[in-house]
């Protein structure tokens, strides 16, 4: 195409700025640029939604490309094809002339082809005496070559988006299956918990999934379902851990019974000696407490008494898993103002902010310490952030925290639904504000 050359359509078809822009773009083809016409056509099919063309229009473009004489499109071999409507209709699966004209106009408007109309509107080529084409009138595929890099990029993005949608849909399906079967297992095993409420929440999440969803929509629902699945797994793991603790206590009690120092079978052989030692100790004024301890049976010192009277054993807590920090901050953005420097970048920052907020809310140190022991420090900080976010609805933050700690130890409280409710509430607030 000659530099600076502008062609206008024949007859009543109007000229537009879009057509002029397409002609200018067609003049920017880099020297030596070439592409396989069928690979380029496949890329156009992949990027069809982004290019704004219909599948019928692509059928017409396919037919047009069959008239290009070579497999590679390049300026050296010419960029004009000039089939008649009758020939084009045959190769477009018998498309009617009116439909053919409509889809040719779609391709022109999408900037994929250009019209180069002759003075009388016919399509033809003038050849020299050697048979080479001197000038041709018809449709130019120059925009395909000029936009080749853009089209290939759009096609690659479309493939990546389709793959992301497939993977996200698979993960959502697996998550749905996991939740359904875990709830069924919990009911069958008689695990304590509000399983009716969890089942109702699961059904509500399923009902909100649109029939035709984008990858972003599915990712949002996957996050919510993943949160629910994590809570269910936490509750079941607490039940498993409780069973293990009960089994260990049973073994310890059994060991105590077998080690009973008053047992006649174990102590009878040395009974006379022990009696003699005790009498000597009673008569010896210099005998100390250590001598008496040798004569008295010693009680085994286990971890159970430490847990009951002293600080909680880190390994004996409920074993709750913490949620992603980004999700916590999305649900509780108010806590950000109390982080070091007005921001929170890691769990240490969140726990520091929770200490500040705890004091501000009037929660006693002992109540917060119990929460850290019962839930874990990360989850205790998360609950403080949730209480801050819902501050206007909680009359006694300290009493509320103690109640949640007790319910957690009994396996009756789950942090996930609280976070999910705050995420949804903040999303609605943001939409109303915009």
How is 3-31 classified by DSSP, letter by letter? TT-----STTPPP-HHHHHHHHHHTTPPT
DSSP 141: -
Rounded Cα–Cα distance for residues 404 and 409 (Å): 9
Q: What is the pLDDT of residue 269?
A: 35
pLDDT value for 193: 83
DSSP bridge partners of 125: 136
From the CB of residue 306, how many other CB atoms can be counted at a distance below 10 Å?
Answer: 13
pLDDT given for residue 11 in this prediction:
54
Low-confidence ranges of the chain (pLDDT < 70): 1-6, 8-28, 119-121, 124, 128-132, 134, 243-320, 427-434
- The reported pLDDT for the residue numbered 23 is 62
Provide CB contacts within 8 A for 123, sequence distance 6+. 82, 83, 84, 137, 138, 139
- Residue 212 pLDDT: 86
Q: Are 182 and 235 in contact (CB under 8 A)?
A: no
* Buried residues in 170-202 as b, exposed as e (16+ CB within 10 A): eebeebbebbeebbeebeeeebebeeeebbebb
pTM for the full predicted model: 0.50
- For residue 397, what pLDDT is reported? 87
Query: How confident is the model at residue 292, as a pLDDT?
Result: 38
Write the DSSP assignment of 179-224 as a string of letters. Answer: HHHHHHHHHHHT--S-HHHHHHHHHHHHHTS-SS--HHHHHHHHHH
Give per-residue pLDDT as tens, 390-431: 877 788 888 889 888 888 888 878 888 888 888 888 765 554
DSSP 84-133: -HHHHHHHTTS--HHHHHHHHHHHHHTTS-EEE--TTS--EEEE-TTS-E
Cβ neighbours, 10 Å, residue 168: 20
Residues in CB range of 312: below 8 A, 6 or more apart: 373, 374
Task: Say what the pLDDT of residue 44 is.
Answer: 94
């Amino acid at each position: 195409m000659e530099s600076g050359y502008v062609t206008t359509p024949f007859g009543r078809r109007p000229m537009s700025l879009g057509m002029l822009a397409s002609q200018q773009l067609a003049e920017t083809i880099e020297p030596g640029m070439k592409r396989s016409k069928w690979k380029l056509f496949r890329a156009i099919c992949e990027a069809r939604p982004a290019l704004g063309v219909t599948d019928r229009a692509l059928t017409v473009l396919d037919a047009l490309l069959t008239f290009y004489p070579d497999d590679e499109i390049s300026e050296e071999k010419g960029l004009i094809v000039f089939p008649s409507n009758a020939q084009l209709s045959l190769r477009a699966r018998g498309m009617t002339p009116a439909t053919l004209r409509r889809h040719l106009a779609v391709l022109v408007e999408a900037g994929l082809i250009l019209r180069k109309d002759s003075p009388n509107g016919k399509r033809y080529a003038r050849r020299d005496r050697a048979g080479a084409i001197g000038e041709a009138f018809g449709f130019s595929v120059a925009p395909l070559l000029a936009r080749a890099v853009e089209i290939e990029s759009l096609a690659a993005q479309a493939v990546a988006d389709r793959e992301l949608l497939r993977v996200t849909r698979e993960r959502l399906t697996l998550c749905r299956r996991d939740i359904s079967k875990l709830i069924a297992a919990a009911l069958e095993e008689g695990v304590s918990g509000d399983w009716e409420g969890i089942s109702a929440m699961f059904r509500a999440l399923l009902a909100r999934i649109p029939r035709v969803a984008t990858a972003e929509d599915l990712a949002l629902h996957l996050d919510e379902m993943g949160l629910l699945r994590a809570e269910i797994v936490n509750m079941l793991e607490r039940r498993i851990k409780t069973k293990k603790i009960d089994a260990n206590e049973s073994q310890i009690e059994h060991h105590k019974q077998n080690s009973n120092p008053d047992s006649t079978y174990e102590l009878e052989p040395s009974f006379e000696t022990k009696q003699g030692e005790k009498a000597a100790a009673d008569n010896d004024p210099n005998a100390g407490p250590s001598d008496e301890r040798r004569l008295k049976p010693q009680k085994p010192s286990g971890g159970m008494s430490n847990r009951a009277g002293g600080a909680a054993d880190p390994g004996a807590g409920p074993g709750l898993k913490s949620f992603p920090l980004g999700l916590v901050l999305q649900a509780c953005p108010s806590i950000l103002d109390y982080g070091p420097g007005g921001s929170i970048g890691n769990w240490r920052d969140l726990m520091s902010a929770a200490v500040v907020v705890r004091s501000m809310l009037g929660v006693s140190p002992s109540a917060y310490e119990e929460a850290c022991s019962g839930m874990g420090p990360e989850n205790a900080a998360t609950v403080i952030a949730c209480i801050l976010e819902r501050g206007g609805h909680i009359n006694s933050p300290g009493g509320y925290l103690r109640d949640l700690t007790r319910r957690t130890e009994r396996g009756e409280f789950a942090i996930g639904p609280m976070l999910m409710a705050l995420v949804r509430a903040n999303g609605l607030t943001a939409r109303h504000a915009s």
